Amino acid sequence: MAKILCVLSAIVFVVKTDDVSEFNATITAVNITLNSTVNRTIAFKTPPFSLFSTTTTTKANKTVLGKKNMRKKNVDVKRIDQDEDGKHETKNGTADVNKAPDCPPLGLKSLRVDDSQFQASSYLRMGLGPHRARLNIQSGIEDGDMYDGAWCAKYEDQHQWLQVDALRPTLFTGVILQGRNSIWSWDWVETYKVQLSNDSETWKTCMNGTEEAVFVGSRNEPETPYLALFPQPAVARWIRINPQTWYWNGTICLRAEVLGCPLPDPDNVWQHLSEKLPGSKDNLDFRHHNYKEMRKLMKAVNEDCPRITRIYTIGKSYTGLKLYAMEISDNPGKHELGEPEFRYVAGMHGNEVVGRELVLNLMQYICREFRRGNPRIVRLVTSTRIHLLPSMNPDGYETAFERGSELAGWALGRYSYEWVDMNHNFPDLNNIMWDAKENDTETVKTANHYIPIPEYYTKEDAFVTPETRAVISWMQDIPFVLSANLHGGELVVTYPFDCTRDWAPQENTPTADDSFFRWLATVYASTNLVMANPDRRICHSEDFQQHNNIINGGAWHTVPGSMNDFSYMHTNCFEVTVELSCDKFPHASELPTEWENNKESLLVYMEQVHRGIKGVVRDKMTKKGIADAIVKVEDLDHDIRSAADGDYWRLLNPGEYKVTVWAEGYFPSMRRCSVGTEARPTICDFILIKTPRQRMNGILAKGGRLPQDLQLKLRAMRLRKLRVSTKAINQRRERSRKARGTRSARAPRPLTPLA
């Protein structure tokens, strides 16, 4: 038995030694002694325990944490300072840091670090306890509740500290700090020290030569994250942040992230056997893709699966970056009669990057599984035309990507280049409909669908981003049936209406299809591994688990001009918003886990496009499809229209429905359609008979009016105007870009010495 244990121990330590080899630049030896009773000792030979701070300011400081070249060789170290962008300068002294590894965040921001791993010397109240000291955590609207936006010490002195237990030996390499998130308070830490311990009792302060190192924290405002990298990392289990000075008119408050590489635990030989390894079994490209890398990935998928994929563009961003979309279908490039159209839109807010990477992963996954003959994926591809738009706001993403996952903060890159929130940039059709309904009469009824774009929105001087214009045009070209708008920063699925009536800040504002929207939201939320976990921690300040992780958009907060509402009221498409992750811009090491959390949800949500009824509306004489026929379901005050070929799709929950179809110049037709519980649509075709000419003449002779689809004509006219103004704006912007490029090329270049 002793021999068996010895062999098993040796096997375990082979695995452990492989892990340690990643850090052999700093940990010069791992000595392992084994005997038959599995006694073992591991001695880590590390650099001196004292730690210093940061590196000289370089362009690499702007990149995503985890990339190479984040350090400079032989950095001068005497005093640590930072510039206004959160990057760092060091002066007077030297420290060789070229061998230090690039370690990921410990997981304060991503919630991988549990609340129980935090401690503090004191805290002002429970809502400002140490568990709230997470980078980018957001407070509620009111201060003083259980969910404030930082850890704040009870006392204002230099003996206060925030402590994090890494639970295992960790190679600590740096700290990121920002101040308190609050509408009403203004607090941050300006300088701090760092201490480390292996037993939580004996602490060693990071040294700067013969003096204790002092790191610079926040400057002038609390939201920008500031990074301090240690030029000589050291191994410990516990780390403390010890504030030294703070904003003169505030108190000691901070949010933080810690950078560190986990190491094998010398006191736990079975660690590798008991640990649940994070990540994914799918071999996908799990990393952050900037614009150039995104194009490469999409091209690679298209080359791997040319028979089922097509790359196209729907427009350009303000700076001229193309809005690429990928179509996945068994007949790409063509709408097939009776086949529903589905879309995922990600990156409306450029810094909410999880959706972007999930959509790119989804492309790869569908391509690979289709080639493998996965029956579920083959069925999805052959029965659905799928459109994937990974980046609606590429300008914003590039801004956030340049700073990196931990340094972009909460809002950098959210808005368009013109500083517009695109989820408030679509036409507000809700209030147009509600105002018109207040003036309804028996002879004039307000339309409940296909509501035209308002006139002001079509003008060249309308404050509408080119990205929003491009998406609206895309919606007109393709008869989408179902969509999801992928966001980040919370864990919840919201459904229309997003805008409340009478401008109430919060009010449940259901649509006529509220029950089906609730079904759609539940399908995604209940299959998402994190949302479905009853023991999960709330992200920031709102507990959506009490609503089963779904909520009406207006009941959360009013959003006039949202894409969800516009899609529902201007087109046939039902759309929800999915808030995918507490962390808007997680470190690349978190992406495999995010994929596993959302993979099933992404697939099962797409399959909902096949619920309800579908069919073709045809002319009885010619047998041709009738475009723009109105499909009305009794007791549901929201109609849809047939597509150009006469086919239609009406999403419905199981039940019996009385359906009436009408088109201009035809008698209406009615039939009953039954929807089952199976995830496949009920076929309900309609044959319409043209109104006889003599009947029309008789109506006119009596002074009557023929029923006309004036709303459809107005909608088409406004869309033409929008496209004309968009074309003029794009041409003017392109000429301006070319002119700037010409001036730049003609400008004299500064002389530079030869290398």
Q: What is the pLDDT of residue 232?
A: 84
Please name which of 391, 371, 224 lies closest in space to residue 291, comparing C-alpha atoms: 391
Domain span(s) for CATH 2.60.40.1120 in the chain = 613-700
- Determine the Cα–Cα distance for residues 276 and 142; give it in Å rounded to an integer: 39
pLDDT band at 439 (very low <50, low <70, confident <90, very high): confident
Instruction: Give the percent of the chain with pLDDT over 70.
Output: 80
Q: What is the pLDDT of residue 268?
A: 74
Domain span(s) for CATH 3.40.630.10 in the chain = 291-441+454-610
Cα 289 to chain centroid distance, Å, stands at 14
Say yes or no to pLDDT of 713 above 50. Answer: yes
- Determine the Cα–Cα distance for residues 339 and 647; give it in Å rounded to an integer: 9
- Determine the Cα–Cα distance for residues 184 and 143; give it in Å rounded to an integer: 7
Q: What is the pLDDT of residue 31?
A: 29
- Determine the Cα–Cα distance for residues 434 and 500; give it in Å rounded to an integer: 10
Say yes or no to pLDDT of 90 above 60. Answer: no
What are the phi and psi torsion angles at 684 (to 5°)? Answer: -135, 90
88-91/79-82 β-pairing: antiparallel
User: Pick the residue with more confidence: 534 or 438?
Assistant: 534
Say yes or no to pLDDT of 137 above 90. Answer: yes
686-688/613-619 β-pairing: parallel
Written as six digits, the tokens of 482 are: 């179902």
- Residues 82-88 have a mean pLDDT of 41
- At residue 140, the 3 state secondary structure works out as coil
Q: What is the pLDDT of residue 679?
A: 84
Model pLDDT for residues 333-350, shown as the tens digit of each residue: 999 999 999 999 999 999
Task: Tell me whether residue 596 is one of the annotated catalytic residues.
Answer: no
Say yes or no to pLDDT of 275 above 90. Answer: no
Model pLDDT for residues 281-324, shown as the tens digit of each residue: 999 999 999 999 999 999 999 999 999 999 999 999 999 999 99
Give the C-alpha distances (Å, rounded to integers) separating 375 from 265, 308, 372.
Answer: 44, 15, 9
Q: What is the pLDDT of residue 64?
A: 33
| Lowest-confidence pick of 29-33, 146-150, 585-589, 720-724 | 29-33
CATH 3.40.30.10 fits 613-700, yes or no: no
- Residues 137-143 have a mean pLDDT of 86
| Lowest-confidence pick of 230-234, 519-523, 585-589, 652-656 | 230-234
CATH 1.20.1740.10 fits 115-262, yes or no: no
Q: What is the pLDDT of residue 57?
A: 31
Question: For 373-460, where are the alpha helices, taking DSSP H only?
Answer: 375-383, 394-403, 429-437
Say yes or no to pLDDT of 215 above 80. Answer: yes
- Determine the Cα–Cα distance for residues 72 and 604; give it in Å rounded to an integer: 48
The DSSP output letter for 418 is T
Choose the catalytic residue: 339, 352, 579, 590: 579
Give the C-alpha distances (Å, rounded to integers) separating 319 from 352, 467, 472, 676.
Answer: 19, 11, 19, 49
Model pLDDT for residues 251-274, shown as the tens digit of each residue: 999 999 999 999 988 777 666 555
List Cβ neighbours of 302 (8 Å cut-off, separation of 6 or more): 309, 310, 311, 326
Measured from the Cβ of residue 89, the count of other Cβ atoms closer than 10 Å reads 16
Asked whether 568 and 554 are in contact (CB, 8 A), the reply is no
Say yes or no to pLDDT of 120 above 50. Answer: yes
pLDDT band at 748 (very low <50, low <70, confident <90, very high): very low
Give the C-alpha distances (Å, rounded to integers) separating 397 from 65, 209, 413, 534.
Answer: 16, 40, 6, 32
Asked whether 178 and 254 are in contact (CB, 8 A), the reply is yes
- At residue 608, the 3 state secondary structure works out as helix
Say yes or no to pLDDT of 133 above 50. Answer: yes
Cα three-residue angle 483-642-423, rounded to 5 degrees: 30
Give me the CATH topology for the region 291-441+454-610. Aminopeptidase (3.40.630)
In terms of average pLDDT, the best of 13-22, 213-222, 335-344, 740-749 is: 335-344
Place of tokens 């001036």: 743
Domain span(s) for CATH 2.60.120.260 in the chain = 115-262
Give the C-alpha distances (Å, rounded to integers) separating 628 from 432, 649, 667, 698.
Answer: 22, 12, 14, 26
Say yes or no to pLDDT of 583 above 50. Answer: yes
- Determine the Cα–Cα distance for residues 241 and 695; give it in Å rounded to an integer: 85
- Residues 579-585 have a mean pLDDT of 96
Strand partners, 345: 389, 485
Instruction: Give the percent of the chain with pLDDT over 90.
Output: 67
Say yes or no to pLDDT of 51 above 70. Answer: no
Q: What is the pLDDT of residue 145?
A: 82
Asked whether 347 and 422 are in contact (CB, 8 A), the reply is no
- Residues 121-142 have a mean pLDDT of 93
What are the phi and psi torsion angles at 7 (to 5°)? Answer: -65, -45
Q: What is the pLDDT of residue 734?
A: 80
Say yes or no to pLDDT of 65 above 60. Answer: no
pTM metric for this prediction: 0.83
Return the amino acid letter for 676.
Answer: G
Say yes or no to pLDDT of 753 above 50. Answer: no
Written as six digits, the tokens of 575 are: 């759309």
In terms of average pLDDT, the best of 82-91, 379-388, 428-437 is: 379-388
Average pLDDT, the chain: 83
Burial (CB count within 10 angstroms: exposed 0-12, middle 13-18, buried 19+), residue 129: buried
User: Pick the residue with more confidence: 176 or 277?
Assistant: 176
Q: What is the pLDDT of residue 77?
A: 30
Strand partners, 30: 44
Asked whether 292 and 368 are in contact (CB, 8 A), the reply is no
Say yes or no to pLDDT of 363 above 80. Answer: yes
Written as six digits, the tokens of 323 are: 């809005």
Where does residue 621 fall: left (phi above 0), alpha (psi -120 to 50 degrees), or beta otherwise? Answer: alpha
Say yes or no to pLDDT of 705 above 70. Answer: no
User: Pick the residue with more confidence: 37 or 135?
Assistant: 135
With DSSP H G I counted as helix, E B as strand and the rest as coil, what are the percentages for the chain, rounded to 5?
A: 30, 25, 45
Strand partners, 196: 204, 239
Place of tokens 């689809």: 709
- Residues 690-716 have a mean pLDDT of 69
Say yes or no to pLDDT of 83 above 70. Answer: no
- Determine the Cα–Cα distance for residues 155 and 518; give it in Å rounded to an integer: 48
- Determine the Cα–Cα distance for residues 639 and 437; give it in Å rounded to an integer: 16
